[in-house]
Amino acid sequence: MITLKDIQEARTRIQQVVYETPILQSEQLSKLCGNQLFLKAEHLQKTGSFKIRGASNMGIHAIENGAEYVTTASSGNHGQAVAYVANRYGIPSTIVVPENASQCKINAITGYSGLVEKCGTTSGERLPRAQQIATEQNGVYIPPYDDPLIMAGQGTVGLEILQQLSNIDAIVVPIGGGGLISGILTAVKETNPAIQIIGVEPELANDTYLSLQNKKITAIPATNTIADGLRTNQPGDLTFPVLSKYLDDLVLVSEEEIRMAFSIVLERTKQLIEPSSATTIAAALYGKLNLQGKNIVTLISGGNVDIEHVDKLIVDTTTFVQ
């Protein structure tokens, strides 16, 4: 397992690349949730998501050790981050994305000079392909979540939250492959174990929920949840033990609840966040955290939304907010 020291070292390594993102507040959101709600704004991070943290930690480490070419597999945000780091340090990259990847994320990858290859619709299809390309091209494969350097880089979010806020009762984190939450769990639980860490998954992508229920890694079929950043088929071999050890709770949210949270955040805070990010707000809005009157940080993991599809995500919030 990674350690707090690994995360502290990652923070030093990536400090010239990433932003320290702000904590946002909304009185209206807090009132609707019955808690003091704080939004850790990783959608304002460089490349538009938290993924730059892990990608830069492993990417810089690889380049320092002689890497001249990198690949990865990604639904979008991690791919953008890897392409950005490679471009910043002057080496080529190939990003393997699903056939149904968001066009805005593909455009961002190519904007950072990354070569895009489409492969299947599941992580089980695209990950081996990215690894194969790395082997064929004598490059370095940068996993999207299941690697100690990736996990440690993502964990720097947890260190920032602890520095920015005091008296935190809970931190709510979306779960895809588990890289983000495993890093945050390590950073927070090894610093202040009294803070609750609650994970959130879409009902349609509940692989970690099932894995925890079954006490072993459990795969699910391909999913079309609107939370496209959370469309993994199973938790990682390295991330799952961290969740099993530290996670306080994991809750599920429906597609309708994600849309409502997305719409309320856009309407009330004027922030455009990804549906994957909206899962944490949905969990708070719909009372799934089983907390009242507490100080809660919701992790807003990214903001790379395809503008052409925003209208399909927006719903009428009138009934909910009355």
Please give the positions annotated as active site: 51, 75
In the 8-state DSSP scheme, what is residue 230? Answer: G
Say how many residues make up the chain: 322
As separate numbers, helices (DSSP H) first and strands (DSSP E) second, the chain gives 14, 10
First CA to last CA distance, the chain: 46
Residues 195 and 171: beta-carbon distance below 8 Å: yes
- Spatial distance between the Cα atoms of 197 and 157, rounded to a whole number of angstroms: 13
In the 8-state DSSP scheme, what is residue 114? Answer: P
Torsion angle of alpha carbons 217, 222, 227, 232, nearest 10°?
A: 30
Q: How would you label 253-289 residue by residue, b for 16+ Cβ within 10 Å and e otherwise?
A: bebebbbbbbbbbbeebebbbbbbbbbbbbbbbbebb
- Cα 6 to Cα 2, 156, 198, 274, 282: the distances in Å are 6, 10, 22, 29, 32
